[in-house]
Amino acid sequence: MKFFNKLNVCFGIFALGSGLGFLGSRYIQQPTAIEQSQIYPTAIPTQSIPANIGNSNQNINFIATAVQKVGPAVVRIDASRQISSTLPENFKNPLFRRFFGNDGKDASPDTTNRFERGTGSGFIIGSDGRLITNAHVVNGAEKVKVTLKDGTSYEGKVLGTDIFTDVAVIKIEATDLPTVSLGNGKDLTPGEWAIAIGNPLGLDNTVTVGIISALGRSSSQVGVPDKRVRFIQTDAAINPGNSGGPLLNSAGEVIGINTAIRADAQGLGFAIPIETAQRIADQLFSKGQADHPYLGIHMVNLDRETKAEINQNKELDFKVNQEEGVLVVRVIPGSPAAKGGFKPGDVIREVGDRPVTTSVQVQEQVDKSKIGSKLEVKVMRDGKIKTLKVRPSAFPQGEIEQ
């Protein structure tokens, strides 16, 4: 069914580029979604920046000033995990394995253990050793090494990861550490300066610069429709290894976490807004996980083509008379939506007193709700508006759909 390819599912597995050896929970040799990007110079000559552009005091060296302010709080994260893989048939011969240094006495004769490693970035938000990075930088890692700009290294403990926003938090045992200053992503304007700091391609403390090229990019637009993030778009160069590093404004304040680039484009990078990252990080630090409200529905945005496809599909027991809105295609059995009276064929009109016309808007309103609290949803059913009362639950472990 073609139209099922258009389903806007609210959750799923997300693995974007991060290190040199592996990407988050997917241990592969080549990066997938944070790949090809234009490599910018690590600095812009000061003479090329007009004196009236930059921060409020017209400092033509504002980039260098911002980097000096934040640089000491940006860290390199080296993560590794031990994995087991099945030996080829020829290597199961004890004599052959002994020749390569294995005496044949290991507990699992048909497997071999090896380490896979990756490198990413992060930044310190607490002088007591609290750090933020991307979840895909540390997912599945058994060891995390955190290296400061001055070369000091610490063993880091991953306190929590959230795959739905790609945020993770780490704690190292240290005090009086340099920290970043957090900015306000809500005040951003397309066209203003953006500065990225990180460790791309293993090159520590690399600085790139560009502008904020767009705001509020949906997960679907970025190519990860199962995420609950409205991304900041920038043309500051982001490469594998930049993941988890800070995106700064001209004042040297963190406005986002560098996360991904489009594999089919150059000069388009995306960052998680700092407000989202901070909200999730607070939950991860306090309880090791972040809760996401869950309804239990599959949705699709209606248009003329989708309407026709649905009405011609014999597997569905409902017909659609509208060409716009958010159609409920499936209700997960036993979910809050099922308990709240949702039915396939409902067209969602309002969520929490807010009109909605796209599945992204529905998801955003659900995100703003509280787990266990009543949420009113107005749907069009059989030509009439019906108000449903549903209580979102925490997203169930192991599910990939809302």
* CATH code for the part of the protein at 13-290: 2.40.10.120
What band does 101 get if pLDDT is binned at 50, 70 and 90? very low
Cβ atoms of 120 and 77 closer than 8 Å: yes
Q: Please say if 166 is a catalytic residue.
A: yes
Q: What digits encode the pLDDT tens for the residues 293-344? A: 999 999 899 988 988 888 888 888 888 888 888 999 999 999 999 999 999 9
Fold classification of 293-394 is Pdz3 Domain (2.30.42)
Least confident residue range of 95-99, 143-147, 149-153: 95-99
For residue range 188-227, list pLDDT tens digits in order: 889 899 999 888 777 777 888 888 888 888 777 776 666 7
Instruction: Give every CB contact of residue 207 below 8 A, 6+ residues apart in sequence.
Output: 42, 43, 63, 67, 71, 195, 196, 197
Q: For the whole model, what pTM was predicted? A: 0.70
Q: Is the Cβ–Cβ distance between 73 and 179 less than 8 Å?
A: yes
Distance, CA of 359 to CA of 257 (rounded, Å): 25
Residue 92, both tokens: 């199961």
pLDDT at residue 180, as a whole number:
92
State the Cα–Cα distance between residues 203 and 153, nearest whole angstrom. 17
Residues 6+ apart with CB under 8 A from 1: 309, 313, 315
Predicted confidence (pLDDT) at residue 110 exceeds the cutoff of 70: no
The stretch 66-78 carries a mean pLDDT of: 90
Query: Residue 94 CB: number of other CB atoms within 10 A?
Result: 12
- Cβ neighbourhood burial of 101 (10 Å; 0-12, 13-18, 19+): exposed
Per domain, the residue ranges of the chain are 13-290, 293-394
Q: Is the pLDDT of residue 256 over 70?
A: yes
User: What is the average pLDDT value for the chain, to the nearest integer?
Assistant: 76
> For position 257, what pLDDT does the model report?
92
Query: For position 387, what pLDDT does the model report?
Result: 94
Higher pLDDT, 377 or 15: 377
Sequence letter at residue 368: K
Q: Which residues face 144 on adjacent strands? A: 79, 156
Which percentage of the chain shows pLDDT scores above 90?
Answer: 33
How far is the CA of 175 from the CAs of 123, 127, 130, 148, 172, in angstroms? Answer: 15, 6, 10, 13, 9
Name which of 250, 148, 135, 139 is nearest 199 in CA terms.
148
The answer to whether residue 105 scores a pLDDT higher than 50 is no
**Partners of 196 in the beta sheet?**
208, 247
Q: Which residues pair with 168 in a beta bridge?
A: 133, 161
Token pair listed for 263: 């594999």
C-beta separation of 264 from 140 below 8 A? no
Reading the block at residue 338, the tokens are: 């099922």
Distances (CA, A) of 225 to 11, 76, 395: 8, 29, 16
pLDDT on residue 48: 36
Residue that the structure tokens 């790139």 belong to: 208
- How far apart, in whole angstroms, are the C-alpha atoms of residue 272 and residue 237? 15
* Residue 87 DSSP code: P
Q: Which candidate in 18, 37, 218, 243 is catalytic?
A: 243
Residue 187 falls in the annotated catalytic set: no
Strand segments (E) across 263-390: 269-273, 293-294, 297-301, 326-331, 347-351, 354-355, 375-381, 384-390
| CB-CB contact of 211 with 193 (8 Å) | yes
Q: Is pLDDT larger for residue 28 or for residue 196?
A: 196
Alpha helices (runs of H) in 76-211, residue ranges in sequence order: 94-99, 135-138
pLDDT of residue 236: 83
Nearest to 397 by CA among 119, 13, 87: 13
d(CA 263, CA 235): 14
Which is higher by pLDDT, 393 or 58?
393
pLDDT at residue number 133:
94
* Structure confidence at residue 296 (pLDDT): 92
Among the listed residues 37, 136, 219, 369, the single catalytic one is 136
Residue 23: DSSP 8-state: B
Q: How confident is the model at residue 259 (pLDDT cuts 50, 70, 90)?
A: confident
Q: Which of 166, 226, 235, 346 does the annotation list as catalytic?
A: 166
pLDDT of 129 reads 93
Is residue 56's pLDDT more than 70?
no
375 pLDDT higher than 90 = yes
Which of 296, 266, 264, 290 minimizes the C-alpha distance to 277? Answer: 290
198 or 94, which is more confident?
198
Q: How many CB atoms lie within 10 A of CB 354?
A: 11
**Are the C-beta atoms of residues 112 and 84 closer than 8 Å to each other?**
yes
Higher pLDDT, 219 or 269: 269
